[in-house]
Amino acid sequence: MTGGLAMGTFDVGSTMMLDTLLPMAAAGQWPPLALPSGAFALAAVNWHSVLFLLFAALTCGFAVAVVAADNVVRMALYLVFSLGSAAGLFFLAGAEFIGAMQLMIYVGGTLVLLVFGVMLTAQAPFVSIKPSSSDRTLAAVAGASLLALLLTAVFSVDAWRGPGAGVVPAPSATPLGMALVGVRVDDAPAGSPVTGRSGYMLPFEIVSVHLLVVLVGAAYLARAKRRKTPRAIDAVASSEPLDRVAAQVRAPGSPSQAPGAANRTAGGSSSALVGGGR
Protein backbone atom coordinates (compact mmCIF):
# COMPACT_ATOMS: atom_id res chain seq x y z
CA MET A 1 0.00 0.00 0.00
CA THR A 2 2.69 2.44 1.03
CA GLY A 3 4.91 1.15 -1.70
CA GLY A 4 2.28 1.89 -4.27
CA LEU A 5 1.86 5.40 -2.93
CA ALA A 6 5.57 6.00 -2.97
CA MET A 7 5.81 4.60 -6.45
CA GLY A 8 3.20 7.06 -7.60
CA THR A 9 5.17 10.04 -6.43
CA PHE A 10 8.33 8.46 -7.69
CA ASP A 11 6.94 7.99 -11.17
CA VAL A 12 5.45 11.44 -11.42
CA GLY A 13 8.19 13.37 -9.78
CA SER A 14 11.55 11.86 -9.96
CA THR A 15 11.79 10.16 -13.29
CA MET A 16 12.01 13.50 -14.99
CA MET A 17 14.22 15.00 -12.29
CA LEU A 18 16.47 12.02 -11.81
CA ASP A 19 18.50 12.99 -14.86
CA THR A 20 19.40 16.26 -13.21
CA LEU A 21 19.70 14.95 -9.68
CA LEU A 22 22.01 12.01 -10.24
CA PRO A 23 24.88 14.05 -11.72
CA MET A 24 24.46 16.47 -8.81
CA ALA A 25 24.72 13.65 -6.32
CA ALA A 26 27.74 12.28 -8.13
CA ALA A 27 29.35 15.73 -8.14
CA GLY A 28 29.03 15.99 -4.41
CA GLN A 29 26.17 18.49 -4.15
CA TRP A 30 24.40 16.55 -1.50
CA PRO A 31 21.63 16.47 -0.48
CA PRO A 32 20.19 18.06 -3.59
CA LEU A 33 16.78 18.91 -2.23
CA ALA A 34 17.05 22.31 -3.90
CA LEU A 35 16.96 22.17 -7.68
CA PRO A 36 19.52 24.11 -9.74
CA SER A 37 16.87 26.72 -10.33
CA GLY A 38 16.46 27.12 -6.59
CA ALA A 39 12.96 25.66 -6.39
CA PHE A 40 12.30 23.18 -3.62
CA ALA A 41 11.97 19.79 -5.26
CA LEU A 42 9.24 18.41 -3.06
CA ALA A 43 7.84 16.37 -5.89
CA ALA A 44 11.16 14.59 -6.24
CA VAL A 45 11.11 13.32 -2.67
CA ASN A 46 10.63 9.59 -2.53
CA TRP A 47 8.41 9.26 0.50
CA HIS A 48 9.04 5.54 0.72
CA SER A 49 12.72 6.26 1.26
CA VAL A 50 11.99 9.03 3.73
CA LEU A 51 9.73 6.76 5.77
CA PHE A 52 12.38 4.07 5.61
CA LEU A 53 14.97 6.48 6.97
CA LEU A 54 12.61 7.51 9.77
CA PHE A 55 11.82 3.95 10.85
CA ALA A 56 15.42 2.80 10.40
CA ALA A 57 16.67 5.63 12.60
CA LEU A 58 14.07 4.78 15.25
CA THR A 59 14.87 1.06 15.12
CA CYS A 60 18.64 1.46 15.34
CA GLY A 61 18.50 4.32 17.84
CA PHE A 62 16.26 2.49 20.28
CA ALA A 63 18.25 -0.72 19.83
CA VAL A 64 21.40 1.13 20.86
CA ALA A 65 19.43 2.72 23.70
CA VAL A 66 18.53 -0.76 24.96
CA VAL A 67 22.24 -1.52 25.21
CA ALA A 68 23.11 1.83 26.75
CA ALA A 69 20.36 1.93 29.37
CA ASP A 70 20.93 0.50 32.81
CA ASN A 71 17.39 0.54 34.15
CA VAL A 72 15.67 -2.66 33.10
CA VAL A 73 12.26 -0.98 32.89
CA ARG A 74 13.60 1.58 30.43
CA MET A 75 15.31 -1.18 28.49
CA ALA A 76 11.94 -2.90 28.06
CA LEU A 77 10.35 0.36 26.91
CA TYR A 78 13.12 1.04 24.38
CA LEU A 79 12.80 -2.52 23.12
CA VAL A 80 9.08 -2.00 22.52
CA PHE A 81 9.83 1.11 20.46
CA SER A 82 12.63 -0.59 18.54
CA LEU A 83 10.59 -3.65 17.60
CA GLY A 84 7.56 -1.53 16.73
CA SER A 85 9.67 0.52 14.34
CA ALA A 86 11.01 -2.72 12.89
CA ALA A 87 7.40 -3.64 12.14
CA GLY A 88 7.18 -0.38 10.18
CA LEU A 89 10.25 -1.45 8.20
CA PHE A 90 8.56 -4.78 7.43
CA PHE A 91 5.51 -2.93 6.13
CA LEU A 92 7.76 -0.76 3.95
CA ALA A 93 9.44 -3.86 2.49
CA GLY A 94 6.08 -5.18 1.34
CA ALA A 95 5.83 -7.89 3.99
CA GLU A 96 2.61 -6.64 5.52
CA PHE A 97 1.67 -9.94 7.14
CA ILE A 98 5.06 -10.23 8.82
CA GLY A 99 4.75 -6.66 10.03
CA ALA A 100 1.32 -7.37 11.50
CA MET A 101 2.61 -10.52 13.18
CA GLN A 102 5.56 -8.57 14.52
CA LEU A 103 3.19 -6.09 16.12
CA MET A 104 0.76 -8.71 17.42
CA ILE A 105 3.11 -11.46 18.62
CA TYR A 106 6.28 -9.60 19.44
CA VAL A 107 5.14 -6.24 20.68
CA GLY A 108 1.77 -7.44 21.91
CA GLY A 109 2.77 -10.79 23.36
CA THR A 110 6.46 -11.41 23.90
CA LEU A 111 7.30 -7.97 25.18
CA VAL A 112 4.28 -7.89 27.47
CA LEU A 113 5.61 -11.18 28.86
CA LEU A 114 9.02 -9.55 29.31
CA VAL A 115 7.46 -6.55 31.03
CA PHE A 116 5.64 -8.90 33.41
CA GLY A 117 8.97 -10.55 34.13
CA VAL A 118 10.49 -7.17 34.82
CA MET A 119 7.65 -6.32 37.18
CA LEU A 120 7.90 -9.63 39.01
CA THR A 121 11.64 -9.35 39.58
CA ALA A 122 12.06 -5.59 39.87
CA GLN A 123 13.20 -5.41 43.45
CA ALA A 124 15.21 -2.32 44.25
CA PRO A 125 18.73 -3.78 43.92
CA PHE A 126 17.95 -5.47 40.60
CA VAL A 127 16.29 -2.63 38.68
CA SER A 128 19.65 -1.38 37.50
CA ILE A 129 22.61 -3.73 37.76
CA LYS A 130 25.41 -1.69 36.31
CA PRO A 131 28.22 -3.43 34.47
CA SER A 132 31.71 -2.28 35.23
CA SER A 133 33.29 0.39 33.07
CA SER A 134 35.93 -2.01 31.79
CA ASP A 135 33.14 -4.34 30.64
CA ARG A 136 31.49 -1.40 28.91
CA THR A 137 34.67 -0.52 27.07
CA LEU A 138 35.23 -4.11 26.08
CA ALA A 139 31.66 -4.44 24.83
CA ALA A 140 31.94 -1.21 22.86
CA VAL A 141 35.15 -2.33 21.18
CA ALA A 142 33.80 -5.81 20.45
CA GLY A 143 30.52 -4.40 19.17
CA ALA A 144 32.23 -1.90 16.88
CA SER A 145 34.47 -4.65 15.52
CA LEU A 146 31.50 -6.93 14.88
CA LEU A 147 29.57 -4.11 13.21
CA ALA A 148 32.54 -3.26 10.99
CA LEU A 149 32.86 -6.93 10.02
CA LEU A 150 29.18 -7.25 9.21
CA LEU A 151 29.09 -4.01 7.22
CA THR A 152 32.16 -5.04 5.23
CA ALA A 153 30.45 -8.32 4.37
CA VAL A 154 27.24 -6.49 3.44
CA PHE A 155 28.94 -3.96 1.20
CA SER A 156 31.08 -6.55 -0.54
CA VAL A 157 28.27 -8.04 -2.64
CA ASP A 158 27.55 -6.09 -5.78
CA ALA A 159 24.05 -7.45 -6.31
CA TRP A 160 22.87 -6.04 -3.01
CA ARG A 161 24.00 -2.49 -3.67
CA GLY A 162 22.17 0.07 -5.68
CA PRO A 163 18.59 1.23 -5.48
CA GLY A 164 15.73 -1.16 -5.88
CA ALA A 165 13.69 -1.31 -9.00
CA GLY A 166 10.55 -0.49 -7.07
CA VAL A 167 8.48 -3.46 -8.19
CA VAL A 168 5.50 -3.24 -5.89
CA PRO A 169 4.90 -6.75 -4.56
CA ALA A 170 1.54 -8.42 -4.59
CA PRO A 171 -0.20 -8.80 -1.23
CA SER A 172 1.51 -11.69 0.48
CA ALA A 173 -0.96 -12.73 3.18
CA THR A 174 -2.93 -15.16 1.03
CA PRO A 175 0.09 -16.92 -0.55
CA LEU A 176 1.65 -17.05 2.92
CA GLY A 177 -1.40 -18.73 4.42
CA MET A 178 -1.62 -21.16 1.51
CA ALA A 179 2.07 -22.00 1.89
CA LEU A 180 1.55 -22.69 5.59
CA VAL A 181 -1.09 -25.29 4.79
CA GLY A 182 1.11 -26.85 2.12
CA VAL A 183 -0.03 -25.29 -1.15
CA ARG A 184 2.21 -22.87 -2.99
CA VAL A 185 0.27 -20.38 -5.08
CA ASP A 186 3.03 -17.80 -5.46
CA ASP A 187 5.40 -17.62 -8.39
CA ALA A 188 8.96 -18.75 -7.98
CA PRO A 189 11.46 -15.90 -8.04
CA ALA A 190 13.03 -15.39 -11.44
CA GLY A 191 16.27 -17.29 -11.87
CA SER A 192 15.62 -19.44 -8.84
CA PRO A 193 17.55 -22.69 -9.06
CA VAL A 194 14.85 -24.56 -7.19
CA THR A 195 12.14 -25.88 -9.47
CA GLY A 196 9.78 -27.88 -7.30
CA ARG A 197 9.00 -25.98 -4.14
CA SER A 198 7.43 -27.51 -1.12
CA GLY A 199 4.87 -26.06 1.20
CA TYR A 200 5.32 -25.55 4.88
CA MET A 201 2.71 -27.93 6.27
CA LEU A 202 5.16 -30.04 8.29
CA PRO A 203 7.10 -27.11 9.81
CA PHE A 204 3.77 -25.49 10.65
CA GLU A 205 2.64 -28.59 12.54
CA ILE A 206 6.01 -28.94 14.26
CA VAL A 207 5.89 -25.34 15.38
CA SER A 208 2.33 -25.80 16.63
CA VAL A 209 3.23 -28.79 18.79
CA HIS A 210 6.41 -27.03 19.84
CA LEU A 211 4.45 -24.02 21.06
CA LEU A 212 2.09 -26.26 23.00
CA VAL A 213 4.92 -28.18 24.65
CA VAL A 214 6.77 -24.95 25.40
CA LEU A 215 3.76 -23.34 27.04
CA VAL A 216 3.11 -26.42 29.18
CA GLY A 217 6.79 -26.50 30.14
CA ALA A 218 6.84 -22.80 30.95
CA ALA A 219 3.76 -23.13 33.12
CA TYR A 220 5.40 -26.10 34.88
CA LEU A 221 8.66 -24.24 35.45
CA ALA A 222 7.06 -21.05 36.71
CA ARG A 223 4.42 -22.66 38.91
CA ALA A 224 4.04 -21.67 42.55
CA LYS A 225 6.31 -23.82 44.65
CA ARG A 226 5.62 -25.24 48.10
CA ARG A 227 7.50 -23.10 50.57
CA LYS A 228 10.59 -24.60 52.13
CA THR A 229 10.07 -22.95 55.53
CA PRO A 230 6.46 -23.56 56.52
CA ARG A 231 4.34 -20.67 57.59
CA ALA A 232 3.40 -20.39 61.21
CA ILE A 233 -0.13 -21.59 60.58
CA ASP A 234 1.17 -24.71 58.82
CA ALA A 235 3.56 -25.48 61.65
CA VAL A 236 0.77 -25.20 64.15
CA ALA A 237 -1.52 -27.33 62.02
CA SER A 238 1.00 -30.12 61.76
CA SER A 239 1.30 -30.48 65.54
CA GLU A 240 -2.16 -29.72 66.85
CA PRO A 241 -5.66 -31.03 66.22
CA LEU A 242 -7.63 -29.37 63.49
CA ASP A 243 -10.33 -27.73 65.54
CA ARG A 244 -7.85 -25.98 67.80
CA VAL A 245 -6.00 -24.67 64.74
CA ALA A 246 -9.23 -23.25 63.35
CA ALA A 247 -9.90 -21.62 66.65
CA GLN A 248 -6.45 -20.07 66.59
CA VAL A 249 -7.02 -18.68 63.16
CA ARG A 250 -10.27 -17.12 64.25
CA ALA A 251 -8.94 -15.59 67.46
CA PRO A 252 -5.16 -15.70 67.81
CA GLY A 253 -5.27 -14.12 71.26
CA SER A 254 -7.43 -16.82 72.82
CA PRO A 255 -6.20 -20.27 71.79
CA SER A 256 -8.56 -22.16 74.05
CA GLN A 257 -12.04 -21.79 72.62
CA ALA A 258 -14.97 -24.03 72.15
CA PRO A 259 -14.66 -26.39 69.16
CA GLY A 260 -18.25 -25.69 68.22
CA ALA A 261 -17.48 -22.04 67.59
CA ALA A 262 -14.66 -23.01 65.30
CA ASN A 263 -16.87 -25.34 63.33
CA ARG A 264 -19.52 -22.70 62.98
CA THR A 265 -17.21 -20.19 61.32
CA ALA A 266 -15.18 -22.67 59.31
CA GLY A 267 -17.50 -22.32 56.32
CA GLY A 268 -16.03 -19.07 55.04
CA SER A 269 -12.65 -17.67 55.78
CA SER A 270 -13.83 -14.11 55.26
CA SER A 271 -16.46 -14.43 57.95
CA ALA A 272 -13.84 -15.95 60.22
CA LEU A 273 -11.57 -12.99 59.64
CA VAL A 274 -14.30 -10.42 60.08
CA GLY A 275 -15.70 -12.03 63.15
CA GLY A 276 -12.35 -12.67 64.72
CA GLY A 277 -12.91 -10.16 67.50
CA ARG A 278 -16.17 -11.55 68.79
Partner 1 sequence: MDMPACHGVLVPVLALNPFTDPIGVIHYLVVGAVLFTAGVACMTLKRNALGVLMGIELVLNGANMNFVAFSSPYLRADGAPTLGLDGQVIALFVILLAAAEAAVALAITLNFYNNHATVDVDRADDLKG
Window 118 to 147, contacts with partner 1 (CB under 8 A)? 118, 120-121, 125-126, 129, 131, 135-136, 139-140, 142-143, 146-147
Residue 36 vs 117, nearer CB to partner 1: 117
Q: Which of 37, 38, 124, 160 binds partner 1 (CB under 8 A)?
A: 160
Determine if 88 is a binding residue for partner 1 (CB under 8 A). Answer: no
The three-state secondary structure class of 248 is: helix
* 250/264 Cα distance (integer angstroms): 11
Residue 79 vs 251, nearer CB to partner 1: 79
Residue 140 vs 273, nearer CB to partner 1: 140
Q: Which of 189, 196, 253, 267 binds partner 1 (CB under 8 A)?
A: 189
The three-state secondary structure class of 42 is: helix
Q: Which of 8, 36, 117, 259 binds partner 1 (CB under 8 A)?
A: 117
Contact by Cβ (8 Å): 188, 194 = yes
CA 12 and chain centroid, separation: 37
Determine the size of the site formed for partner 1 (CB under 8 A): 115
Q: Which of 222, 233, 258, 273 binds partner 1 (CB under 8 A)?
A: 222
Determine if 245 is a binding residue for partner 1 (CB under 8 A). Answer: no
> Cis before residue 23, ω within 30 degrees of 0?
no
Determine if 193 is a binding residue for partner 1 (CB under 8 A). Answer: no
β partners of residue 40: 34
Contact by Cβ (8 Å): 252, 273 = no
Q: Which region among 221-229, 237-245, 250-258, 268-276 touches partner 1 (by CB under 8 A)?
A: 221-229
Q: Which amino acid is at 173?
A: A
Determine if 33 is a binding residue for partner 1 (CB under 8 A). Answer: yes
Residue 47 contacts by C-beta under 8 Å, 6 or more apart in sequence?
5, 6, 9
* 80/59 Cα distance (integer angstroms): 10
Determine if 31 is a binding residue for partner 1 (CB under 8 A). Answer: yes
